[in-house]
Amino acid sequence: MIDETFDAIVVGAGPAGNACAYTMASRGLKVLQLERGEYPGSKNVQGAILYADALEKVIPDFREDAPLERHVIEQRMWMMNDRSVSGMQYRSDDFNEERPNRYTIIRAQFDKWFSKRVQAAGALVICETTVTELVRNTQTGRVIGVRTDRAGGFIKADVVVLAEGVNGLLGERAGLRTPHKANHLALAVKEMHFLPRDTLEARFNLQGDEGVVIEAAGTITRGMTGTAFVYTNKESLSVGIGCLISDFKETGETPYGLLEGFRKHPAVAPLLAESDVKEYAAHMIPEGGYNAIPQLYGDGWLVVGDAGQFVNAVHREGSNLAMTTGRIAGEVIHQIKARRDPLDAENLSLYAQKLEKSFVMKDLKKYRNLPRALHNKHLFTTYPNLISQALQTWFRVDGVEKKQKENEIVKSFFRTRKFTGLASDVWSIARGWR
Amino acid sequence: MHIVVCMKQVPDSGQIRVHPVTNTIMRQGVPTIINPYDLFALEQALQLRDKLGGTITMLTMGPQMAEDSLRKAMAFGADRAVLLTDRFFAGSDTLATSFALATAIRKVGDTWGKPDIVFTGKQTIDGDTAQVGPGIAKRLDLHQLTYVAKIAEIDLAGRSITVERRAEGGVQVLRTQLPCLITMLEGTNSIRRGSMADTLRAARAEVVKWSAADAGIEDLTKCGLRGSPTVVKRVFAPTAREEKAHLIDTTGLGTDQIAQALMTEVLTRVPAIEGDLQRAAASY
């Protein structure tokens, strides 16, 4: 057993754990952070887009030395069927601002940097160490520390912050949450395609550190609920696709099969041509939304980040929610510590209250019913096909009068999905969105 | 007992490629690790310390980033770490390296007590010369035990040590006097998982950093590129052998048939084996 007691132990060195450890350490708390990977970031996978605002609230001057790839000036939203892409594109020179809002990043590098800042703030960071168990006071049940997989591995702390990520085995073993449901989890795979910088910039019409984000949905997921993406890094493209695990189970499709199909799509293949694939990775994403959020605090413990299911699947937001929940948890712990109160469930409930008032819970609440509405294969197959067909009818100049074209398009929708189907799709999406 | 373990931070040579056109080594993005051979030396040192008491000092010459490897060594249980780091050391060959390390070991002795044993790995995976250990022994006038597989006995009072040394065609049992230098053979032990207490101590410990001057090196012409007579004339990647692996299709075959297919293949390629096998079978 280790003789000293830490103010806080943070389990995990991803964005949530780092934001929390940094917030506490920079306010003078004695913080120990434990990470099972060889180095912070070695186990972490993300697309990845960094939303500056959430990080800025933790480390205001992060732009000075953080390893950022490109700031995003253009967003493409693609609806794909097997041969076509329809969609929306937004590009603005306004995004070439002094403090850009979104960046592409490479997580292995970014997390290493973040951890260096956490250590510089005074936290003790230990890698290659897995927390195996939360240790409780046998009488009161209060969490008093953790046990690790190293000899003499019991370490005491006033509070344990679980920032252990989506799989959250520690919380599950401790009975803090129920096992995941397959329809609350997505499985995403991605590849890193390397290209010479000049080629990449020419292909995406970029200058300097400008970047493009492509988010895509449609027949590429073969009827399953999911999306795909292409993100531009300095000298590489992050290309990935993900779907609900329950859908993979039901259909027997494979993640790599989907990725292969996406890569070969006529709209994607030219972007990746002659690239050199150097890395591939897979990761689970908690997409259960508001309804899947577990108990977030108790006597001597808190949950932050993916472990708390804080992902807004609709807006592709996760790491910002992780950093925000980590920061708020850190602030709350510091606040309670500063007035010398115990870190029990009653005092830590302030964490949940603060989350309720923040955009985190408000956004997740807004979309609470959307996961169910989006679990509709017509959205990923029927509509992309109908829309592609409609646009093709519209754009093709072939001597057919316009009135007839309009009628054909409208009829195609009603023929395929019937009035009731259309109405129910619109209704469930609108209700989920409100 | 005071043990010094010399250790090097090396690029993970398993991940290094030689540039196909320029023939230069591509180190970019290659992670650094503790030279794997040095871990056998460290574990042996830890076992001796645990049995006989004393302290272990880690010594590394290298850039600032080598501090990470030294900290890792402390997490395994080493007591202190010294990083010899100075721009004057850049470009050192084995002669210059053994000079710098030997001088630093003398300084380590002055600071924390004369070492009884200096350990090194058998060789490094980036240079593969196996010259630095013997170089240090010569300069410090230490008895030299290379390719040691096992330490059979240490008599601290009588200042003697007995080791088993792997040699061609057998094992030599050697006895000599302390202090000595041991280069440890691979596969002789496996590095432990550091305890929680050691891991915490390592995360907080300060790695001692010495410049050439701090280590007591006066003659800088013996350091770095200037002190290195070795010249790398050419670097090239070995060409692949022409002979390709042969895949035997065993679809639908049972184990006996697979064995039969394998033996037929082997005997067609190396017919001489057949006689050996038959003689071996007859002797049963």
- Summarize pLDDT for A127-147 with one digit per residue, the tens: 999 999 999 999 999 999 999
Which chain A residues are closer than 8 Å to B193 by Cβ?
Answer: 150-151
Instruction: Give me the residues paired with residue B226 across strands.
Output: none
SS3 content of chain A, % helix, strand, coil (to 5): 40, 25, 30
Q: Do A326 and A272 belong together in one domain?
A: no
Containing domain of residue B75, as a range?
Answer: 2-227
The string of pLDDT tens digits covering residues A301-350 is 999 999 999 999 888 899 999 999 999 999 999 999 999 999 999 999 99
- What is the three-class DSSP state of B275? helix
Residue A75 lies in a domain: no
Q: Which residues pair with A19 in a beta bridge?
A: none
Segment B47-64 shows an average pLDDT of 96
H-only helix segments in A83-223: 107-120, 169-173, 197-204
Q: Determine, yes or no, domain membership for B44.
A: yes
> What is the per-residue pLDDT for B19?
72
Q: Mind telling me how many Å the CA of B120 is from chain A's nearest CA?
A: 25
Poorest-confidence range of A28-37, A135-144, A398-407, B171-180? A398-407
Residue of B nearest to A154 (CA): B196
Count of CB contacts below 8 A, A vs B? 29
Could you report the per-residue pLDDT of A235-274, keeping only the tens digit for each?
999 999 999 999 999 999 999 999 999 999 999 999 999 9
Q: What is the pLDDT of residues A38-51, one digit of tens each?
A: 999 888 889 899 99
| Co-location of A39 and A128 in the same domain | yes
B20 pLDDT above the threshold of 90: no
Complex-level ipTM:
0.84
Comparing A373 with A98, the larger pLDDT belongs to: A98
- Last residue of a domain, which of A223, A252, A286? A286
Residues of A with CB under 8 A from a CB of B: 2, 32, 124-126, 129, 148, 150-155
Closest CA to A309 of A256, A371, A255, A231: A371
Same domain for B210 and B268: no
Query: Distance between terminal CA atoms of chain B?
Result: 53
Shared domain check, B278 and B178: no
Domain co-membership, B131 together with B32: yes
- How many residues are present in chain A? 434
> How many domains does chain A divide into?
3
- Tell me, yes or no, whether A110 and A201 share the same domain: no
A306 in any annotated domain: yes
Region A287-298: mean pLDDT is: 93
Contact B203 A126 (CB under 8 A): yes
What is the pLDDT of chain A when averaged over all its residues? Answer: 94
CATH number (domain holding residue A272) = 3.30.9.90
User: Which residue range is the domain that position A135 belongs to?
Assistant: 5-67+106-178+294-357
Cβ atoms of B88 and B223 closer than 8 Å: yes
Contact by Cβ (8 Å): A376, A431 = no
* Contacting residues of B for A129, CB less than 8 Å apart: 196, 199
- Residue B212 sits in the same domain as residue B270: no
Q: What is the pLDDT of residue B96?
A: 95
Task: Give the CATH number for residue A332.
Answer: 3.50.50.60
Of B196, B203, B204, the CB nearest to A152: B196
- Verify that A9 and A110 share a domain, yes or no: yes
Q: What b/e readout covers B175-204, taking b as 16+ CB neighbours within 10 angstroms?
A: eeebbbbbbbbeebbebbebbbbbbbebbe
Do both A171 and A187 map to the same domain?
Answer: no
| Assigned domain for B235 exists | no
- Which of B196, B203, B204 lies nearest to residue A150, judging by beta carbons? B196
Find tokens 């190396």 and name the residue: B270
pLDDT at A353: 97
Interior CA angle at B170 toward B168 and B175, to 5°? 100
Q: For position A234, what pLDDT does the model report?
A: 95
Binned at pLDDT 50, 70 and 90, residue A369 comes out as: confident
User: Same structural domain for residues B73 and B204?
Assistant: yes
Please determine, for residue A371, whether its predicted confidence score (pLDDT) is greater than 80.
no
Is there a single domain that holds both residue B22 and residue B60?
yes
> What pLDDT score does A416 carry?
86
Contact A2 B200 (CB under 8 A): yes
Is A417 part of a structural domain of the chain?
Answer: yes
d(CA A250, nearest CA chain B) in Å: 31
Same-domain status, B27 and B123? yes
Residue A366 lies in a domain: no
> Contacts of residue A150 in chain B, CB cutoff 8 Å?
193-196, 199
Q: Please state the domain count of chain B.
A: 2
Do B128 and B168 belong together in one domain?
yes
What integer is the mean pLDDT of B185-214?
95
Q: What is the pLDDT of residue A318?
A: 94
DSSP strand pairing (B55-61 vs B80-84): parallel
In a domain, residue A72? The reply is no
**∠ Cα A413 A417 A422 (to 5°):** 85
Tens-place pLDDT, residues A220-240: 999 999 999 999 999 999 999
- A281 and A216 in a single domain? The answer is yes
Q: Are residues B142 and B205 in the same domain?
A: yes
Tell me, yes or no, whether B234 lies in a domain: no
In this structure, of A43-57, A367-381, A391-405, B11-25, the range with the lowest mean pLDDT score is B11-25
How are beta strands A154-162 and A301-303 bridged, if at all? parallel
In a domain, A422, yes or no: yes
Mean pLDDT of B52-75: 96
Same domain, residue pair B214 and B246: no
**Lowest-confidence pick of A66-70, A130-134, B123-127:** B123-127
